[in-house]
Structure formats: C-alpha cells, structure tokens
Amino acid sequence: MAKEIVSDSEVVDHVDHPPRFSDETSREGRWNRRRIAWVSVLASLLWWLWSCGALRTRPTLSSEAPAVAPVDNVPDIGFPESVLRTWAQYAPYIPAAEYIPPPPGCAISQVHVLQRHGARWPTTDAGAEMKSAVQKLQRVKHYREDYLTFLKNFTLDLGANDLLPLGAKQSFEAGVVSFDRYTHIVTEDNPPFIRAASSPRVVDSAANWSAGFTVASHCKIKAKVDLVIPESGNITLDDTMCPNSSDGSKESKKWLEIFAPPIKKRLNSAAPGAKLTNKDTHQLMSLCTFHSQVTMAPSPFCGLFTAEEFRGYEYHGDVNKFYDNGYGGNLGRVQGVGYVNELLARLTGQPVRDHTQTNRTLDASPETFPLNRTLYADFSHDNEMVSIYSALGLFRQYLLPGQQLDPVKPCPLRTWILSSLVPFSARMVVEKLQCTGKLPLPLGTFVRILVNDAVQPLEFCGGIAGLCELHAFVASQRYARHDGDGDFEKCYN
C-alpha cells in the first residue's frame, strides 16, 4: 500500500491505484468528444489485465511478443509536431531528442526519474476565464468572419484540474519506456520506489506510470505508488513553500501587451461588440490547446489563430516561467534546492542534508526515503520542475544578454523553450553510471542528465559527452548544498 503523509510525523495508508484517469466532472454526451482517447486508455487497461493474467487462467510469457503496443512519439491530435511545440507548457509530451545509450564502457547502475503529471483539464480559475472569453464571443449577434460561426451552436463543457485520457496514456507509456530502458537494474525484490505530490492528477499519473512499468515486465515486477506527500506541508515535489517568490506576471504581461493586441483587434473586428481583452485572447489560445487534447482532434478555437500568433503565445509561457520559477525569478532557484539535496543523497548513499523544503521525518526513515534502491520515480508539477532545473544549473541562457529572456523581444538563440522543458508528462532522468576507463572517460562513477531524452551538457561540472564524474557533480551543486545561500529564508522574511 502507498503511504500518504499527513504531517511531519503521521503516516496513514493510501489506496493503490490501477491504471486510470481522473474526470470528476464527466457529463452525458462527452463520450463522443473523447472516444479516441478513451480507446487508448481502455487498450492500456486491457493489456494490463491480459499481461497480468486477470483475463487468463494461466499467464504465459513470450519473449517474442511485447507486453504493450509501441509508444507514439508524437500524439495523433491532428496537428504536426511543429504546431504542438508552440503550446508551451500545455504541449503534450514529445521527446526533445532521440535517446542515446551511454558511451561504450559505461553501464547504468542507478536511475532517478522526475516526471510532470500528464495532460489535464484547465485549472479551475483558468477554465472560468476561458468560459468568460467564449461567452463574450457568443453574445455577439452577427459575426463578420466564417471562422466564428461554429460558436452559434457550440457548448463549452470543461472539467477542471484532473488528468485527461491522453495524460493517462502518456504516463502509462512513460512507465513502459522506463522498464524497457532500465530493465537490468530492477528485480522483483528491488522494484522502483515511487513518490507523488498529492494533487489527484499527479497521483494518477504516478499510478499510470506504475501500471505501464508493471505491464512491460509482464507483471514480474509490481510497481506501485509508495508515498503520497501532501502539498500543504514540507514537500520537494511542489512549489508551495515560498510565499515571497515572484510569479513572472510582470514580465509576461509586457510580452502579452505586445503580441496580443493585434490578435484582439482582429477578433473584435470579426465579432463586433465582443470587447475581448488581451487576457481573453490569451485564454482563447490556451483553450485551443486544452480542448484539442480533450477531443484528440483540432479544436475549432485553434482556427481563430495563425501559426505565427502561436509562436507569440509560446514565448509568453517561456517568459512567465523564466521569471517565476526560473533564473529570472527572485526566489525561483531556491524552490528546487530540497529536491536536489534528496537527489545528492540518493546518488551518494548518504543521509539527506537540507534545511529547506524537505520533510525531515520522511527523509530520515528508510521506509519513506530508502537509499538502497536502483530506480526512483518522483511525480511533480511543471513549476517545481523548472525550479529544480534552475537549482541544478540546467538551461542557463549563456547566449542571451545578461543570460536573461527579454520580456519584449524574443531571441532565436534561446534554449529556454517550455515545450522542450516541461510539456505535459515531461521527465528529467538522472543516470548514475560505472565506467571502465575506455576513452574519453576515465575509470570511475559518473552522472548523466536527460531532459525529455535530450542529453544535457553539464558544463558546470566539466561534462564530457554529457557525463560528469560523480564527485564533480556533487561539488557543482554548492547552491543546493548550502541551502540556497540564504535565499530560502527570504521566502518568509
């Protein structure tokens, strides 16, 4: 049974989850809009039942037949990859690169997965703003452009917060990929250790990942969610512990006031009297991304905008996260320090040393923070993952003036692009490797980091082919090892 921690000292049982998705706001008639995604989830569930013997008297294993269907790198929503990548943090998961095995002479001995929850409904507040914008358009009596006429008979029926079928599917597939890639470091007696932040969409993503991992092993390895950590207390998997941090709204508003007015003007001209604002315009673009992933088909709202306009939308997300949880935020990096210190403890097999976000009761117990596992999987949110990237030193913008994103002028040299950093189901994987001394790497223990399968250069610790010696990697994390150099205290003072 998974454990849910309700305080720094109390532990209660939490029910294990089968592969599923959350949708607390289902209503009659939504099936037709989501039938493709439902089929995908049902197929995964049937494979889970079949592979684990629930539909057979005696399970039989075959090395010739895979346990699950092949993973789709680009989800079939009706858009090319180039369009999906302009959806910023609301993009579905697409690998940023093709996975490259470790160099010759190096073998993976330990793996740490940090993964965002899968595709979801809009948050409650964002969904309300989307509905308000749609209602402004629907109150218009006569449209001047045909691309708006669908609104005459359109009913917007949004859920809130919870995992979508696509999110369940991509989380399940991520578990399959992890088993296929790291089979050699897990056993029946040494399964993955899995933690999740307590939001239902995060727990359900972790459960679907666990199911995918289990199915891929033909149920020989029973992966399960071991620990659910409430987001109301000390936690390293959510950014809830720094009330004084900036939120990026000041900088992203500057860009909104540049890219949105021409779109707003065009839409208000096509819908006289709608009186859309810049924010309405942005929320209608967000509605395109969410509605498409609900229906698994192009939303009619996407037809309101051009590809170039969505590149402006993409940069709005990039700027917001950079100045919220990223390098541009006053306290962005420090919110990732606790997780980095947990990572260092697992990599070195030493107790956690941290005085920031960690729950010291949990991290002191081998039951809730074991140090002897070979595969760890943690499930989180995009904001926290951005803080962790920044605390580690990933994605520094060396090619930009002052290493900062300009809120009023996008630079094509930037590598801070959210669809490659934190799309839905994003994952950072830290591999610990033992290398035999084959050139160009010396004999020793190394670390490699991949973000959405793209190998990171690790220039901050002398990376060679994306690998750093473990001791050099640990030494490079001075900011985390010194509890953020006083920044954590600024979260409250």
Q: Which of 14, 17, 117, 218 is catalytic?
A: 117
Three-state DSSP class for residue 488: helix
Rounded to an integer, what distance in angstroms lies between the CA atom of residue 222 and that of residue 296? 31
Rounded to an integer, what distance in angstroms lies between the CA atom of residue 274 and that of residue 265? 11
Residue 468 bridge partners (DSSP): 447
Rounded to an integer, what distance in angstroms lies between the CA atom of residue 440 and that of residue 189? 35
Rounded to an integer, what distance in angstroms lies between the CA atom of residue 46 and that of residue 230? 31
331, 242 contact by CB (below 8 A)? yes
Three-state DSSP class for residue 473: helix
Contacts of 34 (CB under 8 A, 6+ apart): 165, 294, 295, 296
- CA-based radius of gyration for the chain: 23
Question: DSSP string of 4-46?
Answer: EE-SSS-EEEE----S----TT--TTTHHHHHHHHHHHHHHHH
358, 236 contact by CB (below 8 A)? yes
Characterize 258-270 residue by residue with b for buried, 16 or more Cβ atoms within 10 angstroms of its Cβ, and e for exposed.
bbbeebbebbbeb
Rounded to an integer, what distance in angstroms lies between the CA atom of residue 261 and that of residue 277? 8
Token pair of 148 as six digits: 């708006």
Token pair of 252 as six digits: 């992203």
Rounded to an integer, what distance in angstroms lies between the CA atom of residue 388 and that of residue 480? 10
φ/ψ region of 64 (left if φ > 0, alpha if ψ in -120 to 50, else beta) reads alpha
The residue length of the chain stands at 493
Amino acid at 314: E
Does 482 qualify as catalytic in the annotation? no
The β-bridge relationship of strands 375-380 and 193-197 is: parallel
Rounded to an integer, what distance in angstroms lies between the CA atom of residue 389 and that of residue 103? 24
| 67 phi/psi in degrees, rounded to 5 | -75, -25
From residue 193, how far is each of 107, 214, 227, 297 by CA, in Å?
A: 21, 13, 9, 36
286, 88 contact by CB (below 8 A)? no
Residue 2 bridge partners (DSSP): 14
Rounded to an integer, what distance in angstroms lies between the CA atom of residue 345 and that of residue 339? 10
As annotated, the active-site residues are: 117
